[in-house]
Structure 1
Amino acid sequence: MTGYANLPTGATLDIKPFKAHVPEEKLQHFKKLLELSPIAPVVFENTNAGRKYGMKRDWLENAKTAWLHEFDWRKHEDRINSFPNFKASVKDTEGNTIEIQFLALFSEKADAIPIAFFHGWPGSICEFLDLLDIVTKRYPPKDLPYHIIVPSLPGYAYSSGPPVETDYGIDIAAGALNDLMVGLGFGSGYLAQGGDLGSFVSRLLAMKYDACKGMHVNMMGAPPELSDELPMSEPEKKALQKATEFIDTAYAFALEQGSRPATIGFALSASPLALLSWIGEKILEWTDEDPPLEKILESVTLYWMTDTISRCMYHNRALANVDDKPKIARYSVIAKGTSLKLPYIKKPCGYSLFAHEIVPIPKSWATMSCNLVSYNQHEHGGHFPAMEKPDELLADVEEYIKVAWTATDKNI
């Protein structure tokens, strides 16, 4: 991977190599806590109702056994470290210094196109490891058409958290990520890609920063004035129904994280099994097919080893309407009759709609909130396509780049 680790010549940040490694003491403490974590007694909700009411008890029992006796976190650290890894100090929009850790595949081509991939919640950089594998098998550094950057968002994994004195939000965090991309030498232009929280980071970057020339997302925000009274096709009606069902039956976690993040942060930081229940349920429910247990444990273990869960809920305050700040994350919510004022993005945008997305936005709605130049719809895949369908997502992004970069009339 050494050929992919050569920094761009225009980089101005103090960029240092990074290696993921949790101290052995913390790893052993995790195992002891997991071993001693009890599983709640058998009740109707966790045995005879499927996953209607959340995590199933037998799944959690089996996962605990595998986590204790089969899962090897060191192997997953080795995989993270198999890609070029870096850390850099950047500034967010309020002048706070944030340490951003990121994976990167730098190209040796002078005209390589920079693109950043942003994860969401409860995601991480691990979502993109398979996609990065595909890229390295397809392109040697001398032929790679892109500079690919995969950051841990502020508060996630190996990046530092928001300052404890600051009422943080993704609008502030987006400034840090733009500072990263500009500081890597991409001030004349880069593209952003994301899903979930990463889609709103991408939208903010495209809205507010000249250096970001466009966005590709796999979770689209809702357009203005959306309601069930608008003329809709059958697919659009089904999409609105699915989105409404999600808000009615599966949205409580966001309200809890937004309105009582301190409490839920303490609770989930006290037990690995509690954290697995909270995050694992979302991964199982938001994917088209249940991912391999190994992938779920990888994601949850990263959250545990890096103390992520209590540092990463700042974006949910906007979703829960805790304050009146006009934060863009609020606009991910769809409800019947809601008047939404999602700013229109004039820059070239791309959208991949995967069948099991939790809040599916049809193409006709997407065109109401952005200049859609590339669109693909997939019969399979869900909320984590970089993990579930990396080949399909990469193909969509490459198709988008060809159109969008030509439209920007910019070259690095």
Structure 2
Amino acid sequence: MGWLRMVVVGLMVVIIAHKLSKMNKEPPLPTLDPNPWWAPGEPQQEDVSINRFNINFSKKEVDDLKARLALPLRLTPGLEDANFTYGINADTLHTIVQYWRKKYDWNKRQTRLNTYPHFKTHIEGLDIHFMRAGAKAGSAKNVKVVPLLLIHGWPGSFVEFYDILPLLTNPQEGSSVVFEVICPSIPGYGFSQGSSKQGFGQLEAAQVFLKLMKRLGYKQFYLQGGDWGSLIASNMATMYPNNILGIHVNMFTINTPGANLKMVLGALLPAGVVVEEEDQHKLYPLSTFVSMMARESGYLHLHATKPDTIGAALNQSPVSLAAYILEKFSSWTHRDNLHQPDGSLLQQHFPISLDAMLDNICIYWFTSTITTSVRLYAETFNKNFVSKSLDNIPCVVPAGLVTFAHESVNSPKSFASHKYYNIVTNNDQATGGHFAAMEEPALLATDLHQFVNIVEKKRT
């Protein structure tokens, strides 16, 4: 009966493809207000100056954090043998809080965070923060300096990029480029001011970042990002192709009718018919993928519907904030970490240092931006954004795609081609997860260098 199943599925494909051909007309680019005002009150004359600043939280703020960490912990013992399957457990959190209280040195870490110069400027009424890492071509011959906008995600921040920056700004063997890196904080994250008005989503962030790069003198530049960084970069490349030399992403989700049809058909047809055999593991069996997504995406529904509720809870206690964020660092670096007693967070082989994770949490804590950061979900998963149909508008600029083995969402190239029409590189990495720049900075940097070298060679 295998032939009969193939015939039935084939007929389904023809019928659905016919319907999709009517639905899948390319929508026009959405129109944005070119000069919105996201700060409180009415629009005012904008100060376009760019000002240097240092990360320097006061002794009062640091002492307040220490006092809150010193409060008795009210933790419920974990269930026997549950490990991290119910989320972060009491024993692990207790150990981390004790380290945070007694061994973590914020003053020392703050000095490290100031290694690269930080700046702020006003755009559309908001204070926009960015870190700048200058290219160091030095005496290297035949090395070209190219500008790169490097965009973080949630629950990350600019802290994600400290280990990868030297690999981007210094000459690397086999590469003819070095990068002048601009690393902004998404509005509502860290030192970038959050919107006071409804409607500021990832598309609006794309416009802000384009204005930032133009203000810095870059009319054309490369993009790199994961998580929100990937989505914002994709929007920029789709909306402003004349300004984008190339886009490189280490997480990409494809939500077009054609890709969604392929996902379903790939579960019904033999391997290799719809999805390349080497890509089958990224999505199939589909029941396993759906189960994993249901388990790991509860936060997303909460952020998208009631961001201020979860934000208020997390903003009251650094321990609560740490529990919420650290659980994501555990489960998103390797899918099997939830079966480890400590979620692997305290194990020597864990790819991200505890200090680096606490640096990231401290940025959220000291800037009090957890609420404004998660509002980005509510402004994305709504009718207003969906109606713009960005997913169905092709990205035509050169694209570099890299998949890390333990990323929660991995799309086969045949799916990605429904969005990215000019895929230059598409590589799979055997290690690494969601926080690629922190986990595998060398692999991510090498992949980015490879992509940009190919694009630059074609351009010249």
Question: Normalized against structure 1, the TM-score is what?
Answer: 0.85
Aligned to 2:60: 25
Supply the AA of the counterpart residue of 1:192: L
Letter aligned with residue 239 of structure 2? K
Q: Check whether the contact 2:136–2:169 (CA below 8 A) recurs between aligned residues.
A: no
Structure 2 residue 101 is the aligned partner of structure 1 residue 41: no
Q: Classify 1:378/1:246 alpha carbon distance in 2 versus 1 (closer, same or farther; 3 Å).
A: same
Q: Do structure 1's residue 228 and structure 2's residue 289 form an aligned pair?
A: no
- In the TM superposition, what are the counterparts of 1:201-350 in structure 2 within 5 Å? 201-209=232-240, 210-225=242-257, 226=260, 227-230=263-266, 231-240=274-283, 241=286, 243-288=289-334, 290=350, 291-318=352-379, 321-326=381-386, 341-350=391-400
Measured in 1, the distance between the counterparts of 2:304 and 2:281 equals 28
SS in 1 for 2:147: strand
CA shift for structure 1 position 167: 2.7
2:437 aligned with 1:402: no
Structure 1 pair 401–123 and aligned structure 2 pair: CA distance change class (3 A): same
RMSD: 2.4
| 1:55-75 superposed Cα distances (whole Å, 9 cap, x missing partner) | 122110100100000001112
SS across alignment from 2:131 = strand
State how far apart, in whole Å, the 1-side matches of 2:136 and 2:404 are.
33
Counterpart residue type for residue 300 of structure 2: A
Structure 2 vs 1, CA of residues 136 and 112 (structure 1 numbering), >3 Å: closer, same or farther? closer
Structure 2 spans left out of the alignment, 5+ residues: 1-46, 138-142, 267-273, 335-348
Partner of 1:106: 134
How far residue 342 of structure 1 moved from its aligned partner, in angstroms, is 3.9
Structure whose alpha-carbon radius of gyration is higher: 2
Q: Distance in 1 between matches of 2:387 and 2:153?
A: 16
Residue 387 of structure 1 pairs with residue 438 of structure 2: yes
The total of aligned residue pairs comes to 375
Shift in Å, 1:355: 0.2
Amino acid at match of 1:398: H
CA distance in 1, matches of 2:276, 2:194: 44
Matched residue type, 1:312: S
Q: Deviations over 1:88-123 (max 9, x none)?
A: 222xxxxx2222221112347795211111000001
Partners of 2:144 and 2:51 lie apart in 1 by 24
Question: Which residue does the alignment assign to 1:118?
Answer: 151
Contact 1:39 1:61 in 2 (8 A): no
Cα drift, residue 170 of structure 1: 1.1
Unpaired segments of 5 or more residues in structure 1? 1-11, 91-95, 332-340
1:358-406, Cα deviation, whole Å (9 max, x unpaired): 1011223222320210122110000011000111111111111112234
Which residue is equivalent to 2:186? 153
On the 8 A contact 1:88/1:101 being kept in 2, the answer is yes
Taking every aligned residue pair, what percent have the same amino acid on both sides? 29
Counterpart Cα distance in 2 of 1:347 and 1:406: 15
Distance (Å, rounded) in 2 between the aligned partners of 1:307 and 1:362? 38
What does residue 113 of structure 2 align with?
80
Q: 1:168-183 maps to which residues of 2 (within 5 A)?
A: 168-183=200-215
* Shift in alpha-carbon separation, 1:108–1:292, aligned structure 2, 3 A: closer
1:229 CA displacement:
1.4
Distance in 1 (alpha carbons) for counterparts of 2:449 and 2:177: 12
CA distance in 2, matches of 1:137, 1:168: 35
**Comparing 98-107 and 293-302, the one that deviates more:** 98-107
Query: Over residues 269-292 of structure 1, what are the superposed CA-to-partner deviations in whole Å (9 max), with x where a residue is unaligned?
Result: 011010011000001111146332
The AA in structure 1 aligned to 2:110 is: E
In structure 2, distance between residues paired with 1:324 and 1:243: 28
Task: Find the aligned partners of 2:109 and 2:55 in 1 and give their Cα distance.
Answer: 9
Paired amino acid for 1:103: M
Give the letter aligned to residue 281 of structure 2: K
Deviation at 1:237, TM superposition (A): 3.5
Aligned to 1:5: none
- SS of 1:116's partner is strand
Give the superposition deviation at 1:217. Answer: 0.1
Instruction: Report the CA distance shift for 1:249/1:400 in structure 2 as closer, same or farther (over 3 A).
Output: same
2:136·2:170 contact (CA, 8 Å) conserved in 1? no
Cα pair distance change 1:408/1:159, threshold 3 Å: farther
SS of residue in 2 equivalent to 1:185: coil
2: CA distance between counterparts of 1:108 and 1:70? 34
1:352 corresponds, among 387, 398, 402, to 402
Q: How far 1:324 sits from its partner (Å)?
A: 4.1
Counterpart in 2 of 1:14? 49
Amino acid in the other structure paired with 1:195: G
